[in-house]
Amino acid sequence: MNEERLQKVIAAAGVASRRHAEEMITQGRVTVNDHVVRVLGVKVTPEDKVSVDGVPLTREKKQYFLFYKPRGVITAVSDDKGRKVVTDFFEEVQERLYPVGRLDYDTSGALIMTNDGDFANMMMHPKFNIDKQYVAKVKGVPQGVELMPLRQGITIEGRKLAKAKAKVLSRDRTKQTAIVELTIHQGLNHQVKKMLKAVGYPVLKLSRVAFGPLTLDGLQPGDYRKLSHHEVHALKGEAGN
Ligand code: URA
């Protein structure tokens, strides 16, 4: 349960690289629950007390949040031009969080924030197929059939994209706009905007309404909530399929 290799835990606490941590272990500088451990391969849980040179490690608890990113916020941990960034919303959280993937400055919606690097890499890795659902307001009034190329896998900038689910949710003939729902599992830069532009319907407004099984239910822009163990587990399971 939540076991990790000793050298990984030491490295994650920022004390040394994993390689250097291994040396520290074999040199007898590391204790687990006040007993010196000199062999590699020992695993510890968050309950174990790990010390290096007699100094206990302060271990960051893994944190996972679902954030409703508002429009007009940069998906980054800092901005040299002083614009608002997603981490500004998490000032009361002690752990150093970062976003899993990115949403454009003018896109709102579901964004996971975590301090678990392995989890973040897993969620973003192209070989994992986590569905991301978007709702876009587009210029023009498409017929369902006009979105067919997106369902079949459109080629953009010389790259054939995976098949997407695409449907028109509503049409406003007076304003000449429509609302389109698109579900994709890749995460290329500006992918949804490029896809809809490629079929002739540029995006006016974009929101990510679901990330895998997570929806924005109960959240307002700028709100966040902790993910339950069950949800973290479900996301890992979905990534594995
Ligand atoms: N696709 C886009 O075009 N923008 C986003 O922010 C996310 C997906």
User: Can you give the pLDDT at residue 190?
Assistant: 96
Would the pLDDT of 213 be above 70?
yes
CA atoms within 13 A on the CB side of 189: 1
- φ and ψ at residue 182, rounded to 5 degrees: -135, 130
Q: Provide residues with CB under 6 Å of ligand 1.
A: 103-104, 107, 190-193, 206
Distance 134 CA to ligand 1 centre (A): 8
Q: What is the mean pLDDT of residues 47-53?
A: 91
Beta bridge partners of 166: 182
Which domains, from first to last, does the chain contain?
Answer: 4-56 (3.10.290.10), 64-127+214-240 (3.30.70.580), 132-211 (3.30.70.1560)
Least confident of 65-69, 78-82, 85-89: 78-82
Other Cβ atoms within 10 Å of 172 Cβ, number: 11
Distance 91 CA to ligand 1 centre (A): 26
User: Can you give the pLDDT at residue 26?
Assistant: 96
Q: Any idea what the Cα angle at residue 214 is, between residues 130 and 184, rounded to 5°?
A: 35
Would the pLDDT of 240 be above 70?
no
The amino acid present at 33, given as its one-letter code, is N
The DSSP annotation for 68-121 comes to: EEPTT-BSSS--TT---BGGGGGTT--S--EESS---TTEEEEEEEES-HHHHH
pLDDT digits (tens, 9 = 90+) for 119-134: 998 898 877 779 999 9
* 106 part of the active site: no
Distance 118 CA to ligand 1 centre (A): 23
pLDDT digits (tens, 9 = 90+) for 104-122: 999 999 999 998 888 998 8
Higher pLDDT, 2 or 36: 36
Q: Pairing relation of β-strands 43-44 and 4-5?
A: antiparallel
pLDDT classification of 156: cutoffs 50, 70, 90: very high
Percent over 70 (pLDDT), the chain: 99
User: Can you give the pLDDT at residue 239?
Assistant: 72
213 neighbors 234 (Cβ within 8 angstroms): yes
pLDDT digits (tens, 9 = 90+) for 1-27: 578 899 988 887 777 888 999 999 999
> Cα–chain-centroid distance for residue 147?
27
Q: What is the mean pLDDT of residues 162-188?
A: 96
